Amino acid sequence: MTDQQAQTPLLDAKGVSKRFGAVVALEDASLTISAGQIVALMGANGAGKSTFVKILTGALKPDTGHVRIRGTERRVGSPAEARRSGLVPVYQEPSLIPDLSIADNLRLGDTPVADFQHWVHELGIDGLHLDDMISALPLATLRILDLARALAVKPDVLLLDEMTAALPTDLVEKVLDTVRKQADAGQSVIYISHRFSEIAEICDRATVLRDGATVGDLPITPGVEEKVVELMLGAVLDKDPTRTSTAAHRPEGMPRVTVRNLAAGTKLQDVSLDLYRGEVLGVVALEGQGQDQLFDVLAGMDSPTAGTIALDGKTVSFNHPADAIAAGLSFVPGDRADGLLMERSVHENIALPQLARFAKWGAIGMKKEAATVKKAIDRLQIDTRAQGEVQRLSGGNQQKVTIGRWIAAGVDTLLLFDPTRGIDVRTKRQIYLLVRELAEQGAAVLYYTSELAEVPAACDRAMVIFNGKVVDVIEAADADEQTLMRAAYGLTASAAVSA
């Protein structure tokens, strides 16, 4: 690439604004990208990132401003046209049709099959048949297929929206490697992620949005994280860790939850754990090591094939999620759509679990209910401008609602399954603080996260599951990413024997 080429931006968005009625979603958003660059697009909840992405990809038209590709103004009306004009997005949720086979999906988007297969292989997925139905494939595989499909059409600009969320660590590495290699070969990429480590690893620049405007465009250098956070938040955030003391919680007395030799489904082989009141027990595992089944069983959604669960020393068995809720186990699913009534209000969503617990058939105490709900909303700092329908909240606020509903109901034991997937740093921090606070008030929290860096921030201990078995339990103080990563890959001394 010559200097001349590097100076002509491949994609150039300037002064883009968009309002929805009285709400100004974007005021002055800009983004430029040259050939072979990876630019991170960053912004906290409500900064206008999603709106900007929709405008870039052609799903929305800007009110003012322009988007130019290779210097020509682009008026895009639909994703189909955006694709043709050279910008291909990979969205946070898979955009493959569930009831069609892989081959039909490729045909639908005019994707060259050979190139697609090349990329699938390159990204480390083997054993797929083109006539496999999409609905039968796991989420992580779908995300890789989405990426392979985008790469196969050789776009001018590739837009990756939280590409690595929900991917297991090994696939994340593959994806990052592949994207960086493609950029070195001249591919331009807009990279949206909340994970600083990934941005530092592959991006050249970071463009930061705040309140609908681009407030910074920084080259990625060591220590840029602080500056980016500063720009995103508009004020310096104190670097204080969320844990008040470095000393881990000392488990004492009878464990709240005792699990012995639990097995379920095909993946969960043999898991034992003790979860005490007042502690946050982290669960660390690569994708599909049995953690899903562990949470399903504890939440009463699946029956174990072997093993026992005891609460406060008394053995229990659940036939229905309502049994688990009645016993005080509150499950927050990883997929927000699984836990929320998207078309109902914030209020109703928060009030619902309380009904499951208190009101059998009788009337609902409206005033009392309203008061508890309001308390929960305040405490979580949920942005309720759009509280009529939960689906209109941003992802981070939706996640706060899923947790908030259990807090309003008076939480005893909280099962959190990847609660911070795909949400911004500020909301993440609020969630860590909330979890710590709950634990200090005596709640027992089981916390699965796909992001290793969260463990020391939010947990007291971390239990590592590999191949459906517990391979290690690590004190949070020792739980740096490297230790956890090694354990998650089954590389600890104890696992080396069995693996």
Partner 1 sequence: MTRQFLRHGWTAGLLAILALLFVFTKIIQPDFGTSGLDSLSRAMLPFAFATAAMAVVVIAGGIDLSVASMMAVAGVTAAVLMDGAGDGMTAVAVVIVLLVGLTMGAINGALIVITRVPDIVVTLAMLYVWEGVALLILNGPGGSATPWLRELIVGPFIVPWLPRSLVFLAVCLVAVWVPLKRSKLGLSIYAIGSNDLAAYRSGVSVGRTRIAAYAVCGLFAAIGGLTLTMSTGNGEPIPGPYLMASVAAVVLGGVVLGGGKGALLGPIIAVIILRLVRMDLTLLSVDPNVTTIVEGTIMVVVVMFGGVLAYRGRHK
Is residue 301 involved in binding partner 1 (CB under 8 A)? no
Least separation in angstroms between residue 151's CB and partner 1 is 15
Q: What is the distance of C-alpha 212 from the center of its chain?
A: 22
Q: Kindly give, in sequence order, each residue whose CB lies less than 8 Å from that of residue 130, ignoring residues fewer than 6 positions away.
A: 101, 102, 103, 106, 113
Report d(CA 10, CA 157) in Å as an integer: 8
Smaller CB distance to partner 1: residue 97 or 433?
A: 97
User: Closest by alpha carbon to 350, among 330, 329, 334?
Assistant: 330
Tokens of 349: 């969503």
Cβ atoms of 150 and 188 within 8 Å: the answer is no
Q: Which amino acid is at 135?
A: S
Rounded to a whole number of angstroms, the minimum distance from the CB of residue 120 to partner 1 is: 17
Mention every residue, 6+ apart, whose C-beta is less than 8 A from residue 498: 469
The string over 405-420, giving b where at least 16 C-beta atoms fall within 10 Å of a residue's C-beta and e elsewhere, is bbbbbebbbbbbbbbb
Q: Which is nearer to partner 1, 100 or 248 (CB)?
A: 100
Question: Any residues with CB less than 8 A from the CB of 477 and at least 6 apart, and which?
Answer: 246, 248, 456
Query: Is residue 155 a contact point for partner 1 (CB under 8 A)?
Result: no
In the complex, minimum distance from the CB of residue 335 to partner 1, in angstroms, rounded to a whole number: 15
Distance CA 248, CA 235 (A): 31
9-17, 96-104, 309-317, 376-384 -> range binding partner 1 (CB under 8 A): 96-104
292 three-state secondary structure: helix
Contact with partner 1 (CB under 8 A): which of 100, 139, 453, 491?
Answer: 100
355 in contact with partner 1 (CB under 8 A): no
Selected from 46, 48, 86, 109, the binder of partner 1 by CB under 8 A is: 109
Does residue 113 touch partner 1 according to CB under 8 A? no
In the complex, the smallest distance separating the C-beta of residue 79 from partner 1, rounded to whole angstroms, is: 5
Kindly tell me which of 137 and 377 has the beta carbon lying closer to partner 1: 137
Alpha carbons 351 and 345: distance in angstroms, whole number: 10
- Rule CB under 8 A: is residue 79 a binding residue for partner 1? yes
| Closer to partner 1 by Cβ: residue 143 or 277 | 143
Give residues with Cβ within 8 angstroms of 302, minimum separation 6. Answer: 264, 265, 293, 296
Cβ atoms < 10 Å from Cβ of 261: 13
- Specify the residue, 133 or 327, whose C-beta has the smaller distance to partner 1: 133
Burial class (CB in 10 A: 0-12, 13-18, 19+), 357: middle
DSSP-derived 3-state class of residue 198: helix
Look at the block and give the residue holding tokens 């699938």. Answer: 120
CB of 415 within 8 A of CB of 332? yes
Question: What number of other Cβ atoms are within 10 A of residue 322's Cβ?
Answer: 12
Answer for which of 80, 355, 477, 496 binds partner 1 (CB under 8 A) is: 80
CB 1 within 8 A of CB 35: yes
Check binding of 468 to partner 1 (CB under 8 A): no
Would you say 69 or 199 has its CB closer to partner 1? 69
Residue 89 interacts with partner 1 (CB under 8 A): yes or no: yes
Does 133 participate in binding partner 1 (rule CB under 8 A)? yes
Nearest approach in angstroms of CB 177 to partner 1 is 26
The single residue among 5, 8, 78, 244 that binds partner 1, judged by CB under 8 A, is 78
- Does residue number 24 form part of the binding site for partner 1 (CB under 8 A)? no
Whichever of 83 and 249 has its CB closer to partner 1, that residue is 83
What distance, in Å, lies between the first and last C-alpha atoms of the chain?
A: 47
> Which range, of 74-82, 183-191, 297-305, 341-349, touches partner 1 by CB under 8 A?
74-82
Instruction: Answer yes or no whether residue 110 interacts with partner 1 by CB under 8 A.
Output: yes
Smallest distance, partner 1 to C-beta of residue 58, A: 10
Residue 109 or 353: which CB sits closer to partner 1? Answer: 109
Could you tell me which stretch among 108-116, 175-183, 198-206, 431-439 binds partner 1 (CB under 8 A)?
108-116
State which of residues 24, 65, 68, 95 lies at the interface with partner 1 (CB under 8 A). 95
Query: Please, are residues 430 and 458 in contact by the beta-carbon 8 Å criterion?
Result: no
Token pair 């909840």 is found at 45
Q: Does 225 bind partner 1 (CB under 8 A)?
A: no
**Taking Cα atoms as reference points, which of 418, 426, 421, 384 lies closest to residue 401?**
384
- List the one residue from 14, 24, 97, 125 that touches partner 1 (CB under 8 A): 97
Give 411's Cβ-side CA count (13 Å radius): 31
Contact segment (CB under 8 A) with partner 1 among 8-16, 75-83, 165-173, 327-335 equals 75-83
How near is the Cβ of 30 to partner 1 at its closest, in Å?
25
Q: Taking CB under 8 A as the rule, does residue 345 contact partner 1?
A: no
**Nearest alpha carbon to residue 48 among 19, 21, 68:** 19
Tell me if 75 contacts partner 1 by CB under 8 A: no
| Interface with partner 1, residue 422, by CB under 8 A | no
Binding partner 1 (rule: CB under 8 A), the pick from 34, 105, 169, 291 is 105
91 binds partner 1 (CB under 8 A): yes
* Residues binding partner 1 (CB under 8 A): 59, 78-80, 83, 89, 91, 94-100, 104-105, 107-110, 133
